[in-house]
Structure 1
Amino acid sequence: MSETQLKTNERTALRGSTWFITGIGRGLGRHIALEVLRGGGRVAGTVRSRAHAEELHRQFPGQLWTAELDLSDFAKIPATFQAAAAHFGRIHAVVNNAAYSLLGAAEELELEAINHIIATNMTGSIELARAAVAHMRPLGGGRLLQVSSSAGQAAFAGLSLYCATKWGIEGFIESLAQEVAGFGIQTTLVEPGTIRTDFGSSGVLSPELDAYRDGPVGMMRQMATGGYLAPGDPAKMAKAIVATFEAEAAPPRLALGQDAYGYIKAALLSRLDQLEKYKVVDTDCDPAPDAAVSGQ
């Protein structure tokens, strides 16, 4: 299939489809919403403030429905999704996008901040996925796209809790995919590298301890606060994400950006190397061939 045919088919698939997208007020979520709307699709989007969607409403009257939603407010998630479905009818694709970063060494983090990022990035995403499945299952299927990160497979000093939420949501989505495949629901884990958006400005910096200032956590702080220009183009990433809707089979994972590919590949190779290095120790834990299985 040529590039022209792919673009044409993608637009045909988009026209008349309805997407539920979180976090369309800024960053990658906004670019995804724009890509869908420009392709003739409809968007039910969530924002932290309705003011963030005013310009989109002016550009795409009739194609856009929005609601204010904080993913840490779990009780509102099913009701918001149901309201979107009541407005547009069937939801064909859900993009679980809203998230934020928490930068600091694990020792520096406060418990309240730890609980909030887990609630927003992981538990809230799980609740939205559950609402999406409840809607899609009786209708014969749909697409669930979870925006994770290269930090969902690689680990970075200073981002331990952000990584924890992304690793956690990836495990959830992989398990969920097995549960719902028989209902025609396909999942994709979107794993961007660093993105040239204002995501960093929505992140949270923990109080700093002098002991970590000159190490890798301090270097990460300098990058976050020193005007580091991320390589990832959010508009191009949005096009790649939306293009998966045209494919008959959704990609289980979609790494976006050269840095994401490099980080993820290095992390996977490192884990494989560790697996092989310590496999003798691991197999020593197995029972002898003639031993009875105790179940313990």
Structure 2
Amino acid sequence: MSNVWFITGSSRGLGRSLTTAVLAHGDQVAATARNPEQLNDLVAEYGSRILPLTLDVTDTAQVEQAVAAALTHFGHLDVVVNNAGFGIIGAAEAYSEEQVRSQLETNLHAPIAVTRAVLPHLRERRRGHILQISSGGGRVGNPGVSIYQAAKFGLGGFSEALAKEVAPLGIRVTCVEPGGFRTDWAGASMSYAPEVAGYETTVGALKHMFQSGAYVPMGDPDKAAQVLLALVAHPKPPLHLLLGSDSLGLVQQAEADRSAELEEWIPVSRSTDHDAAENFLDTDLGKQFLKGK
């Protein structure tokens, strides 16, 4: 059975690899991009199975128009991929207000807006799969990418809560968390905040690595695209999916560090409960939260 996909940021990087793989698999795709003419070669090869759509994901009105156009053309949607985004490097205090807002609007508000736009349709059909292309940096904080990672951590939290809300409706959610892939994320699409003295060994070291070409990503976007194709066919897809041994290694270490810190501070965490309070997990609210696991 073929699926209809809605993919943002489809003209380059992972989005381009996924769009190409989806079409080669025999599926159909509404492929959104700021410059959809970059998809002309795919239109020439696959005809009406691809619908290129102009979309600035930070424009909510355009998001709603693009979703409506996809539904008009294909009749329904099965898989929604929030892929559009870009990175920025700098010290937290160095970013301009515009840079901060741009990161949060593109990497957090936009996927939320797309998700909200498609949910009424998916809810009515009682089926669908939403893939949020986050990052291993949505699970591990690193110097130099604080604002980018603020957006990705937020996307992860939104996706976890959303997954519990929509599971009874037959809608699945997966937060895909890649490491570095051989796209232009670390190259042409990367931007930088002004330098600030004092961060030479942290932010400065990361910036030098990226700008010098010393950083060679480990991931292959074409392989990732094949994984995502298989993922939507899986009967029990994960809520979180790390892609790449770099992302996997960093998250494994971060989870171990968090677990050790949590255990060390458990007595302090419990010390603030009221003397008359019962075990939270035995309360009605605690039980309600556990039901959503």
With normalisation by structure 1, the TM-score equals 0.91
User: 1:210: Cα distance to partner?
Assistant: 2.8
The equivalent position to 2:149 in structure 1, one of 163, 176, 180, is 163
| Cross-structure match for 1:42 | 28
**Are positions 1:185 and 2:171 aligned together?**
yes
1:98 is aligned to 84
Q: Distance in 2 between matches of 1:57 and 1:208?
A: 43
Q: Which of 260, 271, 281 is the aligned partner of 2:247?
A: 260
Per the TM alignment, residue 59 of structure 1 is displaced from its structure 2 partner at its CA by 2.0
Residues 252/290 of structure 1: CA separation in 2 closer, same or farther (3 Å cut): closer
In structure 2, C-alpha distance between the alignment counterparts of 1:210 and 1:190, rounded to whole Å: 35
Identify the range of structure 1 (57-66 vs 91-100) with the bigger mean alpha-carbon deviation.
57-66
What code does the residue aligned with 2:133 have?
Answer: V
Report the 3-state secondary structure (helix = DSSP H, G, I; strand = E; otherwise coil) of the residue aligned with 1:24: coil
Alpha-carbon separation, structure 1, partners of 2:257 and 2:67: 40
Name the structure 1 match of 2:38: 52
2:82 partner amino acid: N
Provide the C-alpha distance between the structure 2 equivalents of 1:50 and 1:138, rounded to a whole number of angstroms.
29
What amino acid sits opposite 2:177 in the alignment? E
Q: Does 1:173 align with 2:179?
A: no
Structure 1 residues 222-247: Cα deviation after superposition (integer angstroms, max 9, x where no partner): 12211121011111111111111111
**Matching residue of 2:6:** 20
User: What secondary structure is seen at the aligned counterpart in 2 of 1:106?
Assistant: coil
Offset, 1:270? 1.1
Residues 84-233 of structure 1 correspond to what in structure 2 (within 5 A)?
A: 84-200=70-186, 201-212=188-199, 214-227=200-213, 228-233=215-220
Change (3 A) 1:98 1:290: closer
Q: 2-side partners of 1:223 and 1:31: how far apart?
A: 26
Cα distance, 1:290–1:32 mapped onto 2, change above 3 Å: closer
State the aligned residue count: 276
* 5+ long unaligned stretches in structure 2: 279-293
Is 1:272 aligned to residue 262 of structure 2?
A: no
Residue 154 of structure 1 aligns to a residue whose secondary structure is coil
Q: Quote the RMSD (CA, aligned, Å).
A: 1.3
Superposition deviation, residue 290 in structure 1: 7.8
Q: Alpha-carbon deviation of 1:128?
A: 0.4
The TM-score, its normalising length taken from structure 2, stands at: 0.91
